């Protein structure tokens, strides 16, 4: 079973992501964290298949967290997707420079988000079957 780690300080965004993933597959587990301090201190004992990080968070900026993940021996091989409400060119360029595999904008619609997440999973070889035919 594959898993995704979502690091986002907004509980509504975590719920939105969770509900979309339920539509995409019954076979992918989502772990939502509001910050990743304790995860990085576990020396890589928890290994998700993908990590999504919100760019704007109050405790630690997403880009700083990305830098820490890419230096961490237990996590540096895991693909990281940055996501944000904003697609400022400087932020996107910096994320790619620091090792992000993609930078997506938080979608306005549920349907759009399901399509984007499905495309990302397919890109990284995470097989899935729609759990529900709601598209």
**Phi, psi (5° rounding) for residue 3?**
-140, 155
CA-CA distance, 89 to 86, in Å (whole number)?
9
- What is the distance in angstroms between the CA of the first residue and the CA of the last residue of the chain? 24
Max alpha carbon distance in the chain (Å)? 40
Q: What is the pLDDT of residue 42?
A: 61
Is the per-residue pLDDT at 135 higher than 50?
A: no
The DSSP code for 44 is: T
Which residue ranges form the domains of the chain, and what is each CATH number?
A: 2-123 (3.40.50.2300)
**CA distances (Å), origin 106, targets 68, 96, 127, 132:** 23, 17, 23, 22
Whether 69 and 40 have beta carbons less than 8 Å apart is answered as yes
Q: How confident is the model at residue 134 (pLDDT cuts 50, 70, 90)?
A: very low
Average pLDDT over residues 77-98: 93
The DSSP code for 133 is: -
Is the per-residue pLDDT at 117 higher than 50?
A: yes
Q: How confident is the model at residue 106 (pLDDT cuts 50, 70, 90)?
A: confident
**Phi, psi (5° rounding) for residue 81?**
-110, 125
Beta bridge partners of 31: 5
Most confident of 22-26, 70-74, 81-85, 125-129: 81-85
Q: What is the pLDDT of residues 15-38, one digit of tens each?
A: 988 888 888 877 888 888 887 766
Q: What is the pLDDT of residues 26-73, one digit of tens each?
A: 788 888 888 776 666 665 566 899 999 999 988 888 999 999 999 988
Which pTM was predicted? 0.86
Q: What is the pLDDT of residue 82?
A: 95
């Amino acid at each position: 079973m594959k898993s995704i780690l979502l690091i986002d300080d907004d509980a509504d965004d975590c719920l939105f992501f969770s509900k979309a993933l339920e539509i995409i597959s019954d076979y992918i587990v989502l772990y939502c964290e509001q910050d990743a301090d304790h995860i990085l201190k576990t020396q890589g004992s928890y290994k998700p298949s993908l990590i999504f990080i919100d760019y704007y968070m109050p405790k630690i900026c997403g880009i700083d967290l990305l830098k820490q993940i890419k230096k961490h021996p237990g996590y540096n091989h895991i693909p990281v997707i940055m996501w944000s409400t904003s697609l400022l060119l400087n932020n996107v360029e910096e994320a790619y420079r620091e090792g992000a595999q993609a930078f997506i904008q938080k979608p306005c619609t549920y349907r759009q988000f399901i399509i984007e997440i499905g495309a990302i999973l397919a890109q990284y070889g995470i097989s899935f079957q729609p759990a529900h035919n709601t598209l």
